[in-house]
Structure 1
Amino acid sequence: MGGLGTDGLYLDKLRVSVNGRLVLKGVTLHVPRGRIVGLVGPNGSGKTTLAYAVLGHPLYRVEGGEIYLDGEPLTGLKTEERARRGVFLAFQSPPEIPGLALRTFLREVAAKRGLSLEDEELPRYLRLVGLEEGYLDRGVHEGFSGGERKRLEFAQALLFKPKVAILDEVDSGLDLEGVRLVVSKTREIAESGAGVLFISHNPHVLRLLEPDEVVVLVGGGVALRGGLEVLEEVEKKGYPGAGG
C-alpha cells in the first residue's frame, strides 16, 4: 500500500489508548520533511502519548487511524523497524547506561538504523553540539549534566539523519545558552531534510524557533492550529476548554 502520498510524518485521525484509557481522540497532524511543527498543550493533553505512539512503544495502543512516514503506514511495525525507517525521538530525560561506552552505543544504534559509522566521524558530531571527543569513551550519559544529555540527543539527531525527529520537551530546564543551542540545532535538523515535531511547554522558546506551524493539543484532540499568532492567543486566553 502506498499510503497518502504525503512526505514526512502524517497522523490520520489517530486514536491511542494507554492502560485502557483513550488519550488521543482522532488527531490529524502533518510534519512535512524540512519543516518544523511546534506542539503545545497543557499537562495530560496527550503530547508525550503522541510521541511514544509514533515510536511504537508497546504500552501505547493504536485504537484507530494510521501513522504514515513518507506515505507508508507505520502502525503495526516494531519500534526498531520504525527507527530503521527514519523515526527519531529525543527524550526529555534520557537514561544513564553505565559501562557502555558512548562510542560503542552510537555505532550499535547506527547499525540498527542501517547506517555504518566510521570512528573518525563521531567527534565531529559531538563538536557540533559543544561536546568534546573525550565523551565518546565515557558510559552513555554517565555523569552527564541535564544539558549535556540534551546536547547528545541533538548530536544523535544530526548523526542519524532521520526522516522525522520528535523532540519531546528538550528545552525544559535549560539556561539561555542551552535554549539558543536547542533552537539552532533544531533548525539544522530541519535544514538537513527531516521533519521536526517540537513538543514544548514554553511559548518563548517556540517564538525563538519560529516553527512553520503551531498545533495546540487539548484533551487528546487538536484545539487550534496556525502560525505564531496561536501562541499569542494561548498566552492571552489560556488553552481552549482547559479552564483558563
Structure 2
Amino acid sequence: MGELKIENLHVAIDNQEILKGVNLILKTGEVHAIMGPNGTGKSTLSQVIMGYPNYEITAGTMSLDGQDITQMTIDERARAGLFLAMQYPVEVPGVTSSDFIRAAINARRPVDQPISIMAFITELAKKSELLGMTSDMTERYLNEGFSGGEKKRNEILQMLMIAPEFAILDEIDSGLDIDALKVVAKGVNHMRKTTFGALMITHYQRLLDYVVPDFVHIMMDGRIVTTGDADLAKALEASGYAGLRDQLGLDIILTDEDI
C-alpha cells in the first residue's frame, strides 16, 4: 500500500506564513477531500506537494512511500507517482494533447521500454470514450481554445492515462456545469482502486455527492482543524464555516464571503 505523508508542514511565501503545521496521511485506496474558507492554504498545499518553487518550506516533511520528497523537483515528483490537476490548466501551443500524454507516460517508464504506438492509441481511445471526448480533442494543441469544461476533462484524461499513484485535484469542479461535473466524477471514480489515492480540494459539497470521500478534512488558517467522513461535508453545508469554527472553539477570523 502506497502512502503520502505530510508532517508538521509549515510553508511561507514572501516571508508570509501560509501553512502553519499541516499533518495528513493519504494512502492508496483512499479518497480524501479538503474543504475550507478562501485563502486558508488549500491550493498552496496542493502546489507545495507537487513542488512549486515559489514556496519555502520552513518546517516539516513530506514523504512518498517512505522517501523524502521535499527536495525533489516537479518532474521528479511526477515520475515518482504524483499528479496535479490544476484549477486553471495552462495552454501549450504547438504540443498536441496526445503527444503530451504519451511523453508523460514514457517519462515514468524505463527508457528502453516506451509504450507502443498501438497500445497508446487503443488506451487513449478507450479513456476518451469514457469521458465523452471526441477523438479530435486529443489532436488539438494542449488546452488551446478549450472551454473550461474541456480543459477539466483533459486533465482527467491525463490522470487516467498516466495512472499516478496519487492525484491531487485542485478545485477540479470549479466552473463546471452539472453535466461536466458528472463526467469528471466518473473519471475519478473509475480510478478508485487499491493502487490509487486522491486528494480533492473543493469549496462545494456538490462534487462530494458524485465522488464520495473516505475522509473529509476542514482547513482553516493554514492548518487542518478537524477530520471526519463524508457526513462532515454535509454538516458543513448546513452550519457554514462560522458555525463549525464556533463549535470547535477556534479563534479564527473569517471574511463575509466565507460566513
Same fold? TM cut 0.5: yes
Name the CA distance, whole Å, in 1 between partners of 2:130 and 2:209: 23
Count of equivalent residues: 239
Name the CA distance, whole Å, in 1 between partners of 2:153 and 2:50: 21
Runs of 4+ displaced beyond 3 Å? 241-244
Name the CA distance, whole Å, in 1 between partners of 2:98 and 2:49: 27
Deviation (angstroms), 1:203: 1.3
Give, as a single letter, the amino acid of the residue that structure 1 aligns with 2:64: L
Deviation (angstroms), 1:93: 1.4
Deviation (angstroms), 1:114: 2.7
Deviation (angstroms), 1:236: 3.0
Task: For residues 216-242 of structure 1, give each alpha carbon's deviation from its aligned partner in whole angstroms, at most 9, with x where no partner exists.
Answer: 000101111101232233223322234
- 2:38 is matched with 43
Task: For residues 111-157 of structure 1, give each alpha carbon's deviation from its aligned partner in whole angstroms, at most 9, with x where no partner exists.
Answer: 22337333323222222211122223211112211111111111111
- 1:118 is matched with 116
TM-score, with structure 1 as normaliser? 0.92
Give, as a single letter, the amino acid of the residue that structure 1 aligns with 2:69: L
Contact 2:2 2:195 in 1 (8 A): no
Q: 2:171 aligns with which of 169, 178, 186?
A: 169
Contact 1:8 1:194 in 2 (8 A): no
Contact 1:86 1:163 in 2 (8 A): yes
SS of the aligned residue for 2:192 comes to helix
- 1:205 is matched with 207
SS of the aligned residue for 2:176 comes to coil
1:34-73 correspondence to structure 2 within 5 Å: 34-73=29-68
Name the CA distance, whole Å, in 1 between partners of 2:158 and 2:29: 17
1:22 aligns with 2:17: yes
What's the Cα RMSD here?
1.7
- 1:82 is matched with 77
Name the CA distance, whole Å, in 2 between partners of 1:233 and 1:223: 15
Name the CA distance, whole Å, in 1 between partners of 2:140 and 2:176: 23
Q: 2:135 aligns with which of 133, 136, 145?
A: 133
Name the CA distance, whole Å, in 1 between partners of 2:209 and 2:40: 21
Please list every run of 5 or more consecutive structure 1 residues that lacks an aligned counterpart in the other structure.
Answer: 1-5
Name the CA distance, whole Å, in 1 between partners of 2:228 and 2:51: 28
Q: Percent identity?
A: 35
- 2:144 is matched with 142
Give, as a single letter, the amino acid of the residue that structure 2 aligns with 1:117: I
Name the CA distance, whole Å, in 2 between partners of 1:137 and 1:203: 34
Contact 1:218 1:242 in 2 (8 A): no
From the superposition, tell whether residues 184 and 137 of structure 1 become closer, same or farther in structure 2 (CA, over 3 Å). Answer: closer
Larger radius of gyration: 2
Contact 1:224 1:230 in 2 (8 A): no
Give, as a single letter, the amino acid of the residue that structure 2 aligns with 1:22: E
